Each structure stands twice: as structure tokens, then as C-alpha cells.
């Protein structure tokens, strides 16, 4: 059982590293106008496969050992966290797709996306550290950071709705990407919540 739990933890940490890099590359590729769809798609597929492997191992551990208490909470959370990481890969892929759909976006203002992207990347990094160290304080901090990304997205959309002179291509592409970044931040928050659940057994009601 302990060997299985260690293996599960290592698989999650592998997924963590891969998904974090995938998101970073996707956001950078948008900011720098580089088409990295193929690479990012490959990594997102890899994450999806890893998620399946985590699910399979989790189910095997549940069936073979019928764990309870913190072991049960850990396995249940690993399945959720693995799903979260695979979603990060998918959103990263969606971000790189925007460039393919809209073409050259070099003239667009990317400040907001850079800021929100940086915040989301920090959230992923902290949620991974919180998971690795079972750090409840860090997990709670990730949750607090999510409000900033939410507000950036909402303010941008509200502003765009009333902007008469804006470049429609820039506005729509940035809205889409900010939406993906906002969802990425949400999943980092969920990973933080899973850490809280593993350690304390308390479930956080979702917004």
C-alpha cells in the first residue's frame, strides 16, 4: 500500500511539472507570437494519458487495499488533482489554438494577459508545492490569489463590452485567452483545496 501511495505521489509530481511547463510555454508563445501548437498539443495528450494512469492506479489501490482515513482522502484527491493537471494541459492547448485562429496578433496589447498569466503560473507553482509538502497555509494562499485573476478577467470583459474603438481581433483573442487563464487559475485553486482536504478532511464549498 505505501509503495503504491508513493508511486501515485510521484506520478502526480511528474504531471505537475509537465502541466506547469506546458502552461508557461503556451502563454509565452502567445506573448511572443510563436506558433507552438504541435508541441503543446503533444504535452496535453501526454497529460491526458498520465491522468488515465493515475486513475487506474488509484482504482487498483482502492480495490486491493480498501484504504480509509488519510490514505483514502489522498487517493481520492490524487484523482481530482490529476484531472486538474490534465485540464491545465487542455487549456494550454486552447491558448495556442487562438494564435492559429486569429493569425498575427503582434499589434495587440498583451499586458493584461501577461499579468494574469504570471499570476496563474505562480498559483500552479504554489499549489504543486502545497501538494508536495502537504502545506495547508500555502494551499489557502493559492485560493486567495484566485480572486485577482477572476477580477482581471471580469474587468477586461466589462471594459471590452463598452469599448467602441477597439480592434475586434485583439479584443476577442485576448478575451478568450484571459478566460482560459482564469480557468487555469481555478484548477490551481482546486488543487489547493484538495491539499486542504487531504490534510484536514475538510471540504471547501466551490464558488
Partner 1 sequence: MTVGIQLEKPKPEKQIQHALPVAALEKDKIETEKLNAFYGKNHAIKDLSIKIRDKSITAIIGPSGCGKSTFIRCLNRMHELVPGARASGKVFLDGNDMYAKGVDPVLVRRRVGMVFQKPNPFPTMSVYDNVAAGLKLNGVRNRDRLDQAVKKSLDAAALWEEVKDDLWKPGVSLSGGQQQRLCIARALAVEPEAILMDEPCSALDPSATAKIEGLMTNLKEEYAVVIVTHNMQQAARVSDYTAFFYLGELIEYSETTTLFENPSQELTERYLTGKFG
> CB within 8 A of 104, min separation 6: which ones?
33
For partner 1, the binding residues in 1-30 under the rule CB under 8 A are: 1
Number of residues that bind partner 1 (CB under 8 A): 17
Nearest to 152 by CA among 128, 122, 185, 126: 185
Among 3, 106, 202, 205, binds partner 1 (CB under 8 A): 202
Q: Is 81 exposed, middle or buried (0-12, 13-18, 19+ CB in 10 A)?
A: buried
63 sits near partner 1 (criterion: CB under 8 A): no
Rounded to the nearest whole angstrom, what is the least distance from the CB of residue 66 to partner 1 in the complex? 5
66 binds partner 1 (CB under 8 A): yes
Q: Based on the shown chain and the rule CB under 8 A, indicate whether residue 67 belongs to the binding site for partner 1.
A: yes
Rounded CA-CA distance 176/123 in Å is 20
Stretch in the footprint of partner 1 (CB under 8 A) among 17-25, 68-76, 81-89, 113-121: 68-76
Using the contact rule CB under 8 A, the part of the chain among 35-43, 107-115, 133-141, 152-160 near partner 1 is: 133-141
Are 13 and 132 within 8 A, CB to CB?
A: yes
Listed in sequence order, the residues at least 6 apart from 38 whose beta carbon sits closer than 8 Å to its beta carbon are none
- The answer to whether residues 105 and 168 touch, using CB atoms and an 8 Å cutoff, is no
Give me the 73-112 binding string for partner 1, x by CB under 8 A, dash otherwise. Answer: x---------------------------------------
Binding site for partner 1 (CB under 8 A): 1, 66-73, 136-137, 140, 196, 199-202
Amino acid at each position: 500500500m505505501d509503495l503504491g501511495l508513493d508511486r501515485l505521489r510521484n506520478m502526480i509530481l511528474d504531471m505537475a511539472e509537465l502541466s506547469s511547463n506546458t502552461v508557461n510555454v503556451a502563454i509565452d508563445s502567445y506573448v511572443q507570437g510563436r506558433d507552438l501548437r504541435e508541441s503543446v498539443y503533444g504535452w496535453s495528450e501526454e497529460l491526458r494519458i498520465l491522468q488515465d494512469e493515475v486513475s487506474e492506479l488509484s482504482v487498483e489501490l482502492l480495490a486491493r487495499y480498501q484504504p480509509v482515513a488519510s490514505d483514502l482522502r489522498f487517493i481520492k484527491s490524487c484523482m481530482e488533482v490529476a484531472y486538474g493537471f490534465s485540464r491545465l494541459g487542455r487549456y494550454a492547448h486552447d491558448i495556442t489554438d487562438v494564435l492559429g485562429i486569429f493569425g498575427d496578433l503582434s499589434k495587440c496589447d498583451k499586458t493584461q494577459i501577461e499579468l494574469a498569466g504570471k499570476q496563474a503560473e505562480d498559483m500552479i507553482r504554489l499549489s504543486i508545492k502545497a501538494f508536495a509538502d502537504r502545506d495547508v497555509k500555502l494551499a489557502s494562499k493559492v485560493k486567495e490569489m484566485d480572486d485577482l485573476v477572476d477580477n482581471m478577467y471580469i474587468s477586461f470583459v466589462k471594459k471590452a463590452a463598452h469599448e467602441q474603438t477597439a480592434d475586434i481581433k485583439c479584443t476577442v483573442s485576448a478575451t478568450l485567452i484571459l478566460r482560459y487563464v482564469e480557468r487555469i487559475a481555478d484548477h490551481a485553486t482546486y488543487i489547493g483545496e484538495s491539499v486542504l482536504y487531504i490534510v484536514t478532511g475538510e471540504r471547501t464549498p466551490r464558488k
